[in-house]
Amino acid sequence: GAGVSQTPSNKVTEKGKYVELRCDPISGHTALYWYRQSLGQGPEFLIYFQGTGAADDSGLPNDRFFAVRPEGSVSTLKIQRTERGDSAVYLCASSPGTSGRADTQYFGPGTRLTVL
Amino acid sequence: DAKTTQPPSMDCAEGRAANLPCNHSTISGNEYVYWYRQIHSQGPQYIIHGLKNNETNEMASLIITEDRKSSTLILPHATLRDTAVYYCIGKPYSSASKIIFGSGTRLSIRP
């Protein structure tokens, strides 16, 4: 079946602009995660949703970052007033989120964000 | 989540078994050992996980020591396509929760 998809695959923007990154999880997965990865480092957790609600947003670096998942499926990561330091690959993952079972996350290909 | 320690890099000849070690001496009883890998310019890919028994699937085998303080991921017949960064992760059982990635092991398969 279809895996996790992310759009756009690449985004170039100017410092100070607003961007939105989209994630389409695997159908039926209730848990959705956002990570970001800087060059040469492992992915860093940002936020995760269980259904429509943010269950853990402890990784969001500041209030310029915000994410939504209004219908419990597609999610959008929003970054206001982008800074050059926001340049990274933004990864989305989803998992079944079923209580009582090991929770395996499946990742999308990522969106490469470049802030000029 | 348990802190894991992995060698920064390893290499292996094509066709041979690649054995990737991981130390997780602080792992708690409710944490699984997960392995993911990341091929260049792709998202991380799930490989295998286990709690205390050895596990095998179509991609790899996972050997966990009896005290659960370390494990080894085995790729039985490495190919060039197995060149990637491999991450060993301790993650709570039966809950949706974040993954804390370390630096991983960069595995290079030589022809």
Q: Compute the 3-state secondary structure of chain B and give helix, strand, coil in percent, each to the nearest 5.
A: 5, 50, 50
Q: Return d(Cα A81, Cα A97) in angstroms, integer.
A: 33
Is the pLDDT score of A101 beyond 70? no
pLDDT at B53: 86
Q: Return d(Cα B78, Cα B97) in angstroms, integer.
A: 31
Q: Identify the bridge partners of residue A90 per DSSP, sorted by sequence position.
A: A36, A111
Residue among B75, B100, B78, B102 nearest B6 (CA): B102
- Any CB–CB contact under 8 A between A42 and chain B? yes
Q: How many angstroms away from the CA of B41 is the closest CA of chain A?
A: 8
pLDDT at B1: 60
pLDDT band at B2 (very low <50, low <70, confident <90, very high): low
Q: How many angstroms away from the CA of B17 is the closest CA of chain A?
A: 25
* Chain B residues 26-85 within an 8 A CB cutoff of chain A: 32, 34, 42-46, 49, 51, 85
- B94 vs A100: CB contact, 8 Å cut-off? yes
Q: Hey, how many other C-beta atoms are within 10 angstroms of the C-beta on A7?
A: 12
Tens digit of pLDDT for each residue in B61-106?
Answer: 999 999 999 999 999 999 999 999 999 999 887 667 889 999 999 9
Per the omega criterion (within 30 degrees of 0), is the bond before A96 cis? no
Is the pLDDT score of A3 beyond 90? yes
Tens digit of pLDDT for each residue in B26-38?
Answer: 888 888 999 999 9
